[in-house]
C-alpha cells in the first residue's frame, strides 16, 4: 500500500472514531488543536491572519489577532466534526440542528417553480448543513472530485443523502445543473472558491478585488432561477447548529455580469458578517487577484 493510501486510511479511521464522540467532546478537542495552531508560525495561521488583516482594517490589531485565534479554533471544530457529518446517520445529525432561521425564504423561492440556486459559503459547518438541506430540498450539487478514491466515495455518499445528486465541476456538470434548474429543481453551489481562469472576473469582496466565479450569475441569467444563501452556524456552548437562509443581494439578478458578481460577493459577505470567526479564512481567496500582486500570501 502506498504512503498516501496509508495516510488516507488512518485519517478515515480517525474520523470514524471521532464520529462516536459527543459534539461537546469533538469541539473541545478541535478547539484545543486550533488554539495551539494559532500560536505557531504555520502557513494556515499566516494565511488566516493575512485575510483578516485585509478584510477587517477597521478593527484594531488586537481585535484582528483575537479573530484569528477564534477562527483557528473554529477550523479545529470543523476538522473534528467532519467524522460525525460523514459517518453518523442523518437522524443523528438532524438532532443537532437546534435552530432554523429564514426557512420561509427557501420555501417561498421553491414554491415559485422557477428553480432555486442555493449558494452555501464555507461558513460554519457546510458538511453538517447538508443533513438538513437535503431532507427538505434534495437537489444537484456541484463539487470537485477528490483525488483520493476512498475520500471521494465517502464524500459522495455523504452529500447524496436524501436523494441529492453530485455534478462534477466541469462542462458536463454545468450542463446537468442547467437542465435541472430549467425543470424547476434546486441546485447547490459553493460560491466563494477561486474559479479557473475562464470562469471568473474581478469583483469586490470585503472591498478588496477578488477573482470571483461567474457561474451563479450565468445560471441565474439563463434560467430565471431564484438565488438563496444558506449556512450552518455553530451555536455557542456546544448547543449544536443553526441553519440560516437569507435572500441574495438583488444585484445578483442583473444582466450585467460585473454587477451580478458584485451582488454574489455581497451576499457571501452578508453571511460571513453574521459569524466572521466561523469563516474559512485559511483559504487563499485573493490568490488570483493581479491587482494585489502575485505573492500576496508570501511570508515575510
For residue 198, tell me if it sits in a domain.
yes
Query: How far apart (Å, rounded) are the C-alpha atoms in residues 278 and 74?
Result: 6
Question: Where are any strands of DSSP class E within the chain?
Answer: 97-101, 116-119, 140-143, 165-168, 186-189, 200-205, 208-213, 226-234, 241-247
Q: In what order do the strands lie in the sheet with 186-189?
A: 97-101, 241-247, 226-234, 116-119, 186-189, 140-143, 165-168
**Collapsed DSSP state (helix, strand, coil) of residue 291:** helix
| Enclosing domain of residue 144 | 90-292
Query: What is the pLDDT confidence band of residue 2, given thresholds at 50, 70 and 90?
Result: low
Average pLDDT of the residues of the chain: 91
Backbone angles phi, psi at 149, to 5 degrees: -55, -35
Find how far residue 65's CA is from the centre of its chain. Answer: 23
For residue 60, tell me if it sits in a domain.
no
> Helix-strand-coil percent breakdown of the chain, rounded to 5?
55, 15, 25
* The pLDDT value given to residue 294: 67
For residue 126, tell me if it sits in a domain.
yes
Query: What is the pLDDT confidence band of residue 29, given thresholds at 50, 70 and 90?
Result: very high
For residue 188, tell me if it sits in a domain.
yes
Which residues, in sequence order, are CB contacts of 281 under 8 Å at separation 6+? Answer: 47, 48, 51, 52, 55, 68, 71
For residue 103, tell me if it sits in a domain.
yes
Minimal CA–CA distance to 51: which of 234, 288, 289, 280? Answer: 280
- Side-chain-side CA neighbours of residue 282 (13 Å): 19
Mean local confidence (pLDDT), 41-60? 96
For residue 14, tell me if it sits in a domain.
no
For residue 81, tell me if it sits in a domain.
no
Q: How far is CA 44 from CA 27, 47, 209, 274, in A?
A: 19, 5, 22, 23
* Residue 127 or residue 241, greater confidence: 241
Query: How far apart (Å, rounded) are the C-alpha atoms in residues 251 and 249?
Result: 5
Q: How many CB atoms lie within 10 A of CB 98?
A: 11
Query: What is the pLDDT confidence band of residue 222, given thresholds at 50, 70 and 90?
Result: very high
Q: What is the pLDDT of residues 118-176, one digit of tens each?
A: 999 999 998 888 888 988 898 998 888 777 777 778 878 777 776 778 888 888 888 99
Dump the DSSP string for 161-183. GGG-EEEESSHHHHHHHHHHHHT
Q: How many domains does the chain have?
A: 1
Q: What are the beta bridge partners of residue 168?
A: 143
* The pLDDT value given to residue 289: 81
Mean local confidence (pLDDT), 252-262? 97
Mean local confidence (pLDDT), 269-290? 94
**Collapsed DSSP state (helix, strand, coil) of residue 118:** strand
* Residue 211 or residue 293, greater confidence: 211
Q: What is the pLDDT of residues 178-191, one digit of tens each?
A: 999 999 999 999 99
pLDDT at 238 over 90: yes
For residue 73, tell me if it sits in a domain.
no
Query: What is the pLDDT confidence band of residue 7, given thresholds at 50, 70 and 90?
Result: confident
* The pLDDT value given to residue 63: 98
Lowest mean per-residue pLDDT among 102-116, 125-139, 192-206, 251-265: 125-139
All 3 cell numbers of residue 79? 476538522
* Residue 83 or residue 151, greater confidence: 83
Amino acid at each position: 500500500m502506498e504512503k498516501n493510501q496509508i495516510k488516507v486510511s488512518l485519517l478515515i479511521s480517525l474520523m470514524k472514531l471521532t464520529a462516536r464522540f459527543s459534539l461537546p467532546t469533538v469541539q473541545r478537542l478541535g478547539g484545543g488543536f486550533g488554539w495551539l495552531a494559532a500560536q505557531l508560525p504555520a502557513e494556515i495561521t499566516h494565511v488566516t491572519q493575512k485575510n483578516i488583516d485585509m478584510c477587517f482594517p477597521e478593527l484594531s490589531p488586537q481585535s484582528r489577532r483575537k479573530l484569528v485565534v477564534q477562527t483557528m479554533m473554529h477550523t479545529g471544530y470543523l476538522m473534528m466534526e467532519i467524522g460525525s457529518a460523514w459517518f453518523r446517520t442523518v437522524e443523528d445529525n438532524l438532532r443537532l440542528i437546534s435552530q432554523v432561521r429564514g426557512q420561509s425564504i427557501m420555501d417561498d423561492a421553491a414554491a415559485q417553480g422557477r428553480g432555486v440556486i442555493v449558494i452555501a459559503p464555507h461558513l460554519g459547518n457546510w458538511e453538517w448543513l447538508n443533513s438538513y438541506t437535503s431532507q427538505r430540498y434534495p437537489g444537484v450539487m456541484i463539487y470537485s472530485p477528490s483525488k483520493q478514491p476512498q475520500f471521494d466515495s465517502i464524500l459522495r455518499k455523504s452529500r447524496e443523502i436524501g436523494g441529492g445528486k453530485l455534478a462534477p465541476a466541469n462542462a458536463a456538470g454545468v450542463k446537468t445543473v442547467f437542465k435541472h434548474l430549467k425543470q424547476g429543481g434546486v441546485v447547490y453551489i459553493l460560491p466563494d472558491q477561486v474559479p479557473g481562469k475562464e470562469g471568473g472576473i474581478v469583483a469586490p469582496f470585503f472591498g478588496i478585488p477578488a477573482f470571483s466565479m461567474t457561474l451563479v450569475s450565468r445560471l441565474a441569467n439563463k434560467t430565471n432561477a431564484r438565488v438563496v444563501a444558506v449556512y450552518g452556524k455553530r451555536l455557542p456552548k456546544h448547543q449544536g447548529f443553526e441553519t440560516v437562509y437569507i435572500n441574495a443581494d438583488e444585484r445578483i439578478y442583473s444582466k450585467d455580469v460585473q454587477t451580478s458578481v458584485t451582488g454574489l460577493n455581497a451576499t457571501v459577505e452578508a453571511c460571513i458578517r453574521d459569524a466572521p470567526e466561523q469563516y474559512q479564512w485559511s483559504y487563499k481567496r485573493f490568490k488570483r487577484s493581479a491587482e494585489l500582486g502575485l505573492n500576496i500570501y508570501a511570508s515575510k
